[in-house]
Structure 1
Amino acid sequence: MIYQGSALSVVKRSDGIAMLTFDLQDESINKLSSTVIAQLREAIDALDTERGITGLVIASAKDVFIVGADITEFHALFAKGEDYLVDMNQQVHALFNRIEDLPFPTVTAINGLALGGGFEVTLTTDFRVMADSAQVGLPETKLGILPGWGGCVRLSRLTGADNAIEWIAAGSQNGANQALKIAAVDAVVPGERLEAAALDILARANDGELDYRARRAEKTGPLKLNAIEQMMVFETAKGYVAGKAGPHYPAPIEAIKVIQKGAGENRERAQAIEAKVFAKLALSDVCYNLVGLFLNDQLVKKKGSQYERKAAPVNRAAVLGAGIMGGGIAYQSAYKGTPILMKDINEEAVQLGLKEARKLLAKQVERGKLTTEQMAEALSNIRPTLSYGDFGEVDLIVEAVVENSKIKDAVLTEVEGQVGENTILTSNTSTISINRLAQNLKRPENFCGMHFFNPVHRMPLVEVIRGEKTSDAALAATVAYARKMGKTPIVVNDCPGFLVNRVLFPYFGGFSFLVEQGADFEHVDKVMEKFGWPMGPAYLLDVVGMDTAVHANEVMAEGFPERMARDEKTVIQVMYENGRLGQKNGKGFYRYEEDKKGKPRKVSDEQARALAGEVAVAKREFEDDEIVARMMVPLCMESVRCLEDGIVGSPAEADMALIYGIGFPPFRGGALRYIDAMGVAEFVALAERLAEELGPLYAPTRRLREMAANGERFYSADATSSHNPA
């Protein structure tokens, strides 16, 4: 034994080969925390003093190699400032360079996931051999930073700048064959042959068959590109990546610039450039929020897995109501391996649902995600029916009929009589109270809400709504089924609109106020899209459907009359009354024409402008900042109220629900993190000012005023935890 730590060990074999093995104690994965980096330094110190070593294999004792740096440390580390971060990265560079400069050949055996810093460790060795099931990548740009431990420098020299840019800018995970194709690894073998293949490479290097010194010279020298080649590679890439990433995500472009600036430099000078830009990005708001988003997502997944551990298995499901939504739910269940019955009262609806599922599966075949055989197998998992014949065998049912409480009540009470005593009933409702729907059920403890978002195959969120009588067993089974479908479930308590729609409709309320006071709705859309929303409020209303919006707004007004009821007709009601339902009938705030791919393309419509003008009591210009404030304050305030009312369990879950459910700009971190970024006191002052003019929809709560007075935040200063201010 050359070295033994709690995270890694180094053993010398009889043939002189040293085996450095990562195996972080009390963890299911390996990650590069500050402690692990310190132990790696000690291990390399030990290797430096050991005599008779003929080669080094770096490996993992776990199912993964190394999943990357310990992201839970990021906020606290980044808070130490730019000089600290540059120095920290330079110290890691020095350590990794020592591995690269060891006086014998080195190889990494990549047995599983090697991401971020974990992949950067593999790039320090002369060779890499990869299990055919493993994946590698540098996902740092998804956190608003760039690979800061040599990834930009080494990968570009190994694979060529164009391949490195593609991997780093996209932040993608890549399979073994992709890695071999671009020379990111030297060999791909079945997992059981990984160690033997690594040892074989070292033997060939020691015999002179493989020139490991030439490989090092390639990695430590300048990129082999002349001036014209550099201009073509880098300028083309910057234009393409800027269009893909958009203006709010600077990291991909900065990564390209780092590779470009370091292209003509040796290893150390190129690494210094990388370390400097990493530190600059790490101190940005975008990075802070995206790291916070990752931590929130981990918390949501952890809560989901806690429910899952207590859940009875859902081996067969059913959906009531076919059509587009039912077909989408059936597709998602079947695609992820849970057989599902799809029932409707008429054959035409059933066929529509099957058509939707078939279309979505065919798209997966086109993208290469499924073979035709796998598509056929998934389709066979969907069993259409007009009767309840086999419902006695079903573990969980999703009711997805029209959003009408009387119809849903009739369907739920009917199906309850056709299933076993332990079958879980759920309702895919966007607004109707779960407690109300449970009133006529014989087993309300087996009932909860399961709110999917449209389109089902794209939207990751499922709101799982707990009613007053919902049992823990029903909740656990529903959460487990949602996770099995590949969705992110967030458990919320019952109230009008639940969490997401309850928060969304005050946002639409802010939009209505703006139009009534003379704002141009197309300009409002442009401002909010520039702010970071995937579509502005008018466009979003067209996608949601004006009939759906009017119905949901009535539910909200009934539930929260003091701030959501309106005496005057809103612009949304006016559009609805004039038959402008949005995309579903080709006209709403915009008119819709089919593009070349058959998708709806919005164009301006003078009739819509005229109708909006009818509700305007004034004609005035609004500054962009004022539009943002009038739109965002009511949304953020309702998020605060949901947290205070116990509708959602934590700021993390509230923020993730908005990002996954309605496309809240991820780089802003969510509504509650947005308030933190502004400062709670500043937000309260803004809300109070707007409430004086616009009413209670904008008014801060008593508790939020207390938070402002006490200097409190929704997330702790190091942002690794969050608290419920209720």
Structure 2
Amino acid sequence: MVYEGNSLSVSMTEAGIAELVFDAQGSVNKFDQQTVKELDEATAAIASSDGIKGVLVRSAKSTFIVGADITEFTALFEMPEEEVLEWVGKTSKVFDRFEDLPMPSVCAINGFALGGGCEMTLACDLRVADTTARIGLPEVKLGLMPGFGGTVRLPRVIGSDNALEWMTTGRDRNGQKALNEGAIDAVVNAESLHQAARTMLLDAIAGKLDWQSRRQQKQAPLMLNENEAMMSFSTAAAMVAAQAGRHYPAPHKMVATVQKAAALGRDGALELENQGFVSLAKTDACQAQVGIFLADQLVKGKGKKMAKAATKSIKTHAVLGAGIMGGGIAYQGAVKGIPTVMKDIAQPALELGLGEAAKILGKGMQRGKFDGAKMAATLNNISATLDMNAIAACDLVIEAVVENPKIKAAVLKETEDTVADDAIICSNTSTISINQLAKALDKPERFCGMHFFNPVHKMPLVEIIRGEKTDDATIAAVVASTLKMGKTPIVVNDCPGFLVNRVLFPYFAGFSQLLIDGADFTAVDKVMEKVFGWPMGPAYLLDVVGMDTADHASGVMSDGIPERMQKIENDPVTLLYTNKRLGQKNGKGFYNYGKDKRGKPTKVAADEAYALFQGHVAEKRDFDTEEIIARVMIPMANEAIRCVEEGIVGSAAEADMALLYGLGFPPFRGGIFRYIETMGLANFVALADKYASLGPVYQISDGVREMASSGKSYFA
């Protein structure tokens, strides 16, 4: 044994080949600080050992290396800038020392080789992957750039254009695509990987493969003349500006760093990479995106733990109520291989539901996501029926009928009378109390909420709502089934609006009050989209939700939480609703919707909406950007805080992910709690106090005031 550590080892095999094998004690290999230290020690051991002619790098696990240990980032990035620079500089030099070993190296890549794992492969002279490999540099998704030599080596291996596309999008490649782009040297079947890597290394040792020139290329300046450099980097900068926008600094920094480093050798280029990495590590966007990753891991971990505890296996679904939402839910189960009965009382609704599923599949085929066989199999998994008895043998029934408590209660009771005693019954309600609906059932312990978001196939979140009498077995089974459907379940306790809608409607209330005070809805939308980063401003979102739905839901919220959410007098949303301006449902709301001469959708601020508001709102005036953001976001933040304080949601991290996955909260802000904490709790309290006179939704709880005064964090 040449070297043995906790995460990797080096052993001699025949023909002078040393095998450096990553085999961490956990389920996957990753570059935590201990593993980096061991890699450096192993490199020194190889360099000082006699008889080693070549190094084969591989993994003993089903995947190569998934990247750096992101759980270490939070503490690392809180260090002073010069200390972060020292850490990343020392770490990247470990990869340099491995690359500089006086013998050829070959990397055998199986499964994921991402981030630091990809950078490890690039430090080798030659690379062979199997058909399971996924190779890439996804650091941009954390608001970062590669920090272990990726921005230096990859452009010199595959060219700056390809490398910048890899790095600025963060998309990984399969083995064949990586081979086509020159990132690896061969692709083989999984069972042939080890032997293929050994053969390649023996050829390098024998001089049949010129590994020295490959190494020199990685350490030299980029081979670009002035015109090529100008074209390459201006094109990349334009692409990043169009796709990433101004809220995400990481892709911009990558382009600038590779451009500056183009004329430099490895050491100078690596110094620029280190500096760029540190500057990004200190940005709010990076802290937010790292926070999202950690929160997502927490949510997934909770979901998997609950699913593992499930005692009932869900093999078949039923969806009651077809139409667009029912069709979307039926599609989501069917596309994941779950046989689904879609039941309605009207044939046109069934046809609409089947049409929705077919439309989603058709678009997927156009994008190459599905083939004809997948489309046929999915549609065959959906059985449309008018017969209630067709659901009798289903394990999980999802009620998705009209949002009316009496109708829902009647349908739920009929369902209970039809299905088996151990079948689970769920309601896809967006606002109606699960405890209230449970009163219609003889066995409320097997009932819970299962709130999907529209469009179902695109929105990752499903809120699982626990009623007072829902038992743990029901929640576990529904969480397991949600995961099987490819969705992210977040379990919340019952309350008006549950979590997502409960925090959304105070946001709408803040918006309505702004309009009453004279704000222009197009100006508010522009600020909330372009500056704050929402995919839609509040007026546009209300048009998408539908004024009828919004008015109904605000009534439910008003009845449930009257102390803060009383309906607003002269609410512009109600004015639009009573004048049958429902939004996109009928093509007219805050905006008028139509199509241009080419058939493309149009959205134009509606003069009719302005006319309706006249006499009900103050004279139009301008509000500055900061005030617009504060007046719509403080109510949302306050209600999210109350949801955590009341135990409606288990943690701030889960609340952040719910808003990210359910509403499209801007990822570069990290979620509502990350937004509050980035601002600083004391600053948030001061800002809310500034607007407290506007009403109860602006008035903070004693809990957040105490946390601010004592310097506590929602993520501690």
* Common topology (TM > 0.5): yes
Letter in 2 for 1:559: G
CA contact (8 A) 2:555 2:567 kept: no
Change (3 A) 1:544 1:567: closer
| One-letter amino acid matched to 1:494 | D
Map of 2:202 onto structure 1 = 203
The answer for unaligned runs of 5 or more in structure 1 is: 717-726
Residues 409-459 of structure 1 deviation map (CA, whole Å, 9 limit, x = unaligned) = 111111111111111100000000000110010111110000000000111
Residue 596 and residue 318 in structure 1: after superposition, are their counterparts in 2 closer, same or farther (change >3 A)? farther
Cα displacement (A) at 1:566: 3.1
Q: Deviations over 1:249-270 (max 9, x none)?
A: 0111111111111111111111
8 A Cα contact 1:120 1:151, kept in partner? yes
Give the SS at the match of 1:390: helix
Residue 151 (1) aligns with residue 162 (2)? no
What residue number does 2:470 align with? 470
5 Å-filtered alignment, 1:673-684, equals: 673-684=674-685
Report the equivalent of 1:562. Answer: 563
Alpha carbons of structure 1 residues 272 and 596: separation in structure 2 relative to 1, 3 Å: farther
Give the 3-state SS of the residue equivalent to 1:614 in structure 2: coil
In the alignment, residue 182 of structure 1 is paired with which amino acid? E
Which residue in 2 is equivalent to 1:724? Answer: none
Superposition map of 1:135-534 within 5 A: 135-311=134-310, 312-529=312-529, 530-534=531-535
Contact 1:123 1:154 in 2 (8 A): yes
Shift of 1:31: 0.7
RMSD: 1.2
Spell out, residue by residue over 1:595-630, the C-alpha distance to the aligned partner (whole angstroms, 9 max, x if none): 578564311221111223332134432111111110
When normalised by structure 1's length, the TM-score is: 0.97
SS in structure 2 at match of 1:87? helix
2:84/2:278 contact within 8 Å kept: yes
Q: 1:339 Cα deviation (Å)?
A: 1.3
Distance of 1:598 and 1:551 partners within structure 2: 33
Amino acid of the residue matched to residue 555 of structure 1? V
Contact 1:691 1:699 in 2 (8 A): yes
**8 A contact 1:412–1:441 mirrored in 2:** yes
Secondary structure at 2:111 match in 1: coil
Q: Could you tell me which residue of structure 1 aligns to residue 551 of structure 2?
A: 550
Residues 233 and 580 of structure 1, relative CA distance in 2, 3 Å threshold: same
What is the CA–CA distance in structure 1 between the aligned matches of 2:54 and 2:691, rounded to whole Å? 69
C-alpha displacement of 1:44: 0.7
For the residues of structure 2 that align with 1:596 and 1:297, how far apart are their CA atoms?
Answer: 43
Distance 2:601 2:574 in 1: 23
2:648 is aligned to: 647
- The answer to whether the 8 A contact 1:65-1:118 is kept is yes
From the superposition, tell whether residues 581 and 289 of structure 1 become closer, same or farther in structure 2 (CA, over 3 Å).
same
Q: Name the residue aligned to 1:663.
A: 664
2:56 corresponds in structure 1 to 57
**Counterparts of residues 596-635 of structure 1 (less than 5 Å):** 600-635=601-636
Looking at structure 2, the residues matched to 491 and 597 of structure 1 have their Cα atoms a distance apart, in angstroms, of: 45
Q: For 1:75 and 1:339, how far apart are their aligned partners in 2?
A: 43
Residue 240 of structure 1: how far off its partner (Å):
1.3
- Is the contact between residue 583 and residue 600 of structure 1 (CA under 8 Å) also seen in structure 2? no
Q: Deviation digits for residues 149-183 of structure 1, max 9, x if unmatched?
A: 11111111111111101110001121111111101
The separation in 2 between residues aligned to 1:147 and 1:675, in whole angstroms, is 28
Secondary structure, counterpart of 2:389 in structure 1: coil
Per-residue CA deviation, residues 487-535 of structure 1 (Å, 9 max, x unaligned), is 1110000001000000000000000110000011110111111211111
Amino acid at match of 1:337: G
Quickly say closer, same or farther: Cα 1:651–1:598, change in 2 above 3 A: farther
Opposite residue 310 of structure 1, the aligned amino acid is: A
1:528-547 alpha-carbon deviations (Å, 9 max, x no partner): 11211111100110010000
Q: Report the secondary structure of 1:59's partner residue.
A: strand
8 Å Cα contact 1:317/1:396 also seen in 2: yes
- Kindly provide the amino acid, as one letter, of the partner of residue 408 in structure 2: K
Q: Map 1:76-87; keep pairs closer than 5 Å.
A: 76-87=75-86
- CA–CA separation in structure 2 for the residues paired with 1:177 and 1:335: 27
CA contact (8 A) 1:518 1:613 kept: no
Q: Is the 8 A contact 2:257 2:272 kept in 1?
A: yes
Q: Distance in 2 between matches of 1:410 and 1:301?
A: 35
Which amino acid counterpart does residue 580 of structure 2 have in structure 1?
G
Is 2:97 the counterpart of 1:98? Answer: yes
Name the SS for the 1:441 alignment partner: coil
Q: Which residue of structure 2 aligns with residue 721 of structure 1?
A: none
Helix, strand or coil at the partner of 1:393: coil
Question: Secondary structure, in 3 states, of the residue corresponding to 2:259?
Answer: helix
CA shift for structure 1 position 679? 1.6
CA distance in 1, matches of 2:599, 2:29: 47
Answer whether contact 1:676 1:715 (CA < 8 A) is retained: no
In structure 2, distance between residues paired with 1:222 and 1:710: 53
Aligned-partner SS, 1:456: coil
Distance (Å, rounded) in 2 between the aligned partners of 1:518 and 1:176? 58
How far apart, CA to CA, are the structure 1 residues paired with 2:585 and 2:164? 41
Identify the residue that residue 70 of structure 2 maps to in structure 1: 71
Letter in 2 for 1:683: F
Structure 2 length as normaliser, TM-score? 0.98
Contact 2:40–2:98, Cα closer than 8 Å, also in 1: no
- Show the counterpart of 2:12: 12
Structure 1 residues 212 and 166, CA gap change in structure 2 (3 angstroms): same
Residue matched to 1:127: 126
Counterparts of 1:589-600 in structure 2 under 5 Å? Answer: 589-594=590-595, 600=601
In 2, are the aligned partners of 1:636 and 1:675 still within 8 Å (CA)? yes
Aligned equivalent of 2:686: 685
Q: Is 1:571 equivalent to 2:564 in the alignment?
A: no
Structure 2: gaps spanning 5 or more residues = none
What is the CA deviation profile of residues 609-662 of structure 1, one whole-angstrom value per residue up to 9, with x for unaligned ones?
122333213443211111111011000000001111110010000111111111
Greater CA drift, 102-111 or 559-568: 559-568
Aligned partners of 2:569, 2:598: CA distance in 1, in Å?
40
Separation of aligned partners in 1, 2:341 and 2:9 = 53
Query: Could you tell which deviates more after superposition, 547-556 or 80-89?
Result: 80-89
- For residues 631 and 324 of structure 1, what CA distance do their matches in structure 2 show? 30
Aligned-pair CA distance for 1:691: 1.2
Match of 2:540 in 1: 539
* Distance in 1 separating the partners of 2:613 and 2:173: 49
Deviation string, structure 1 residues 72-112 (Cα, Å, up to 9, x no partner): 00011111122122222221222111211111111111111
Partner secondary structure for residue 528 of structure 2: helix
Cα distance in 1, alignment partners of residues 110 and 58 from structure 2: 8
- AA paired with 1:704? V
Q: 1:434 is aligned with what amino acid?
A: I
| CA apart distance, 1:48 | 1.0
The residue matched to 1:350 in structure 2 has which SS?
A: helix
